[in-house]
Structures are given as structure tokens and as C-alpha cells.
């Protein structure tokens, strides 16, 4: 599932190309994606509206349109947004030009927004779990799709005190699970939680209330470093994710824990072997040697 760095990379990319463009039409072969609205209603609410800005909230893309209307998109497990020119061939949308948009992972197009410049915003989603809904721009914070989200971890106001306070709302929870709880902190998922716990030397099953203050401090720093690193490297494309131009990110080349089961730990002087186990229904990858503070 795309996490904060992938969603931020997408939002930044769309912000560079969409403002000023007008939505002229919407197509889908999977109406269930438009939760709560019929396609006809969705088209009526968006047609003729100009894109004002594109932002991110948690794992959601927010495309703000004129007329106090926002398109809220959650890419879920396998979705990603693509920008370019498409055409229909053999009843399928395909890129009208050669290049990265022709990556096989970009071929599962189930929604297309036609734009006033003759280009398109396409939503490719292998498993069709994605969500596209409408909200009122001026009251987005109260939207049922966003109101439950915790604070943004990369905002300047999100300092160590806020970080520790958020985690300690669930002192008996396992740290891996609590980090991924979107009501606690928005945007962190499986990949980046593994990487920040590896950096901080904290076992994924450690209960939050038993983590020592110095270790919480290390985790806070690791969180900022890992998330900013994910953005710097254009997101993680170990699976389906691609940026708006169909290109892979490169954070998967920087993994130290995620999907490294059976490999030697890369921490200097450690020598442990990365293990994998299920924590809270999700996979966790960690080094049992230097992340050995499970309590």
C-alpha cells in the first residue's frame, strides 16, 4: 500500500501539472470505486471545475477544485495515479506515447479524468480497492474520510513531545501496530515502520509504555529520517507503486529490514540475521540481535 512518501510524491507531482486544468469528463469501468456517489452525480459535481491545488492528508490525495469541491483519493493497496495522454484501443485505455507509462504495472486503468489540455489523469489499480469520493473543500477536516486521522509526522509542529504523547495514547499496544494506526499518526505503514524500528533498534513487539525515553528519542529521529528519505528517493516501488509519469521510486534500494528476511543485518558490527513474523496481522521484518529489547 502506498504510504506517506509515495502519496506525497504523487501529490507533489500532481501539484506541478494539474493547477489551472479543467476537468471535462470522468470515465470508469468500476463504479464501486466512487464510494457514496453514482458516476453520473460525480461527473455532474466535477465537470467544468478548475483544479486549484493538490495536497496530501495521511494516505489521501486531495485534488481541490473550484466551487468548494475536493476529490479525495485513497490509493489503497495497489493503486497509483498517472498523468499523460491516453487513448482507447481494444476497449482499454493505453498510453498514447512510448515511455514509462507503458510499464506493465500501469496497465490496470479503472478511472480516467479527461482534462482541458487534452491530457488525462488515470488511476491504475490492480486489485480495484481504490477509493474516489467528493468532499467540501472548506470543511475537509470534518469529512468522515479524514476526520479520524492523527497528526502529520513531518509537520514542524510535530515535535518529540507530540510524538511521544501520541504513541502513549496506546501504552499497551505493540509499537509496530501503534505506528501504523492512522488515528495515532497519519501516513505510516508497513514498509516505513519496519525501517524506522530497525534504525532505532526497537523490537516491533515492544509495548509502547515500556520503551525507554532515550529509545523513543531515537525512534522520533528515525521516523523523520526514514519518511524524508522515502520522499527524497521518490517512494518505494518494490510492488505496484509508480509516480505520476509511470516511473519507479528508489526507496526499495535503501531497505535495511523490510523484505530482507534471511539476510545479514547491515547495521555496523551487528551480524544478526533479519527475521520476519506477524505482528498485529501485518508482517514485521527486524533484526533479533540489535532489536532485542522486546518486553
Confidence (pTM): 0.96
Residue 142 pLDDT exceeds 80: yes
Question: 282 catalytic, yes or no?
Answer: yes
The whole-number pLDDT of residue 35 equals 87
| Mean pLDDT, residues 226-235 taken together | 98
The dihedral through the CA atoms of 282, 191, 122, 135 has a sign that is positive
Find the radius of gyration of the CA atoms of the chain. 20
Q: What is the pLDDT at residue 197?
A: 98
Q: Which of 2, 5, 95, 153 is catalytic?
A: 2
Residues 3, 59: contact at Cβ < 8 Å? yes
Is the pLDDT at 277 greater than 80? The verdict is yes
Cα(111)–Cα(119) distance, integer angstroms: 14
Active site residue 253: no
Given the residues 55, 282, 289, 294, the one annotated as active site: 282
Check if 166 is active-site.
no
Q: Rounded to 5 degrees, what angle do the CA atoms 22, 27, 32 make?
A: 120
Q: With the C-alpha atoms ordered 277, 283, 287, 291, is the resulting torsion angle positive or negative?
A: negative
In the predicted model, is pLDDT for residue 294 greater than 80? no
Q: How far is CA 222 from the centre of its chain?
A: 18
Q: Please tell me which residue in 49, 57, 59, 166 is annotated as part of the active site.
A: 59
Q: How confident is the model at residue 132 (pLDDT cuts 50, 70, 90)?
A: very high
pLDDT digits (tens, 9 = 90+) for 90-128: 889 999 999 999 999 999 999 999 999 999 999 999 999
- Active-site annotation holds for 85: no
| Helix/strand/coil (H/E/C) assignment for every residue in 42-70 | HHHHHCCCEEEEEEEECCEEEEEECCCEE
Amino acid at each position: 500500500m502506498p504510504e506517506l512518501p509515495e502519496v506525497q510524491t504523487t501529490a507533489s507531482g500532481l501539484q506541478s501539472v494539474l493547477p489551472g486544468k479543467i476537468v471535462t469528463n470522468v470515465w470508469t469501468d468500476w463504479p464501486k470505486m466512487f464510494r457514496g456517489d453514482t458516476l453520473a452525480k460525480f461527473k455532474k459535481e466535477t465537470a467544468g471545475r478548475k483544479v486549484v491545488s493538490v495536497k496530501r492528508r495521511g494516505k489521501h490525495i486531495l485534488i481541490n477544485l473550484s466551487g468548494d469541491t475536493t476529490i479525495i483519493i485513497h490509493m489503497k493497496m495497489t493503486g497509483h495515479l498517472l498523468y499523460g495522454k491516453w487513448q482507447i484501443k481494444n476497449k482499454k485505455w493505453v498510453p498514447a506515447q512510448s515511455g514509462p507509462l507503458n510499464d506493465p504495472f500501469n496497465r490496470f486503468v479503472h478511472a480516467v479524468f479527461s482534462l482541458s489540455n487534452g491530457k488525462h489523469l488515470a488511476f491504475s489499480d490492480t486489485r480495484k480497492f481504490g477509493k474516489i469520493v467528493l468532499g467540501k473543500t472548506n470543511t475537509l477536516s470534518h469529512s468522515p474520510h479524514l476526520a479520524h486521522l492523527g497528526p502529520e509526522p513531518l509537520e514542524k509542529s510535530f515535535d518529540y513531545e507530540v510524538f511521544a504523547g501520541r504513541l502513549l495514547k496506546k501504552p499497551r499496544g505493540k509499537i509496530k501496530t501503534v505506528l501504523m494506526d492512522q488515528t495515532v499518526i497519519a501516513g505510516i505503514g508497513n514498509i516505513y515502520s519496519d525501517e524506522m524500528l530497525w534504525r532505532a533498534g526497537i523490537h516491533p513487539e515492544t509495548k509502547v509504555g515500556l520503551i525507554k525515553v532515550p529509545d523513543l528519542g531515537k525512534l522520533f529521529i528515525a521516523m523523520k529520517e526514514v519518511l524524508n528519505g522515502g520522499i527524497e528517493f521518490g517512494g518505494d516501488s518494490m510492488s505496484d507503486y509508480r509516480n505520476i509519469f509511470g516511473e519507479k521510486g528508489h526507496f526499495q534500494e535503501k531497505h535495511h529490514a523490510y523484505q530482507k528476511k534471511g539476510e545479514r543485518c547491515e547495521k555496523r558490527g551487528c551480524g544478526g540475521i533479519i527475521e520476519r513474523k506477524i505482528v498485529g496481522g501485518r508482517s514485521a521484518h527486524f533484526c533479533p540481535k540489535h532489536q532485542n529489547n522486546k518486553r
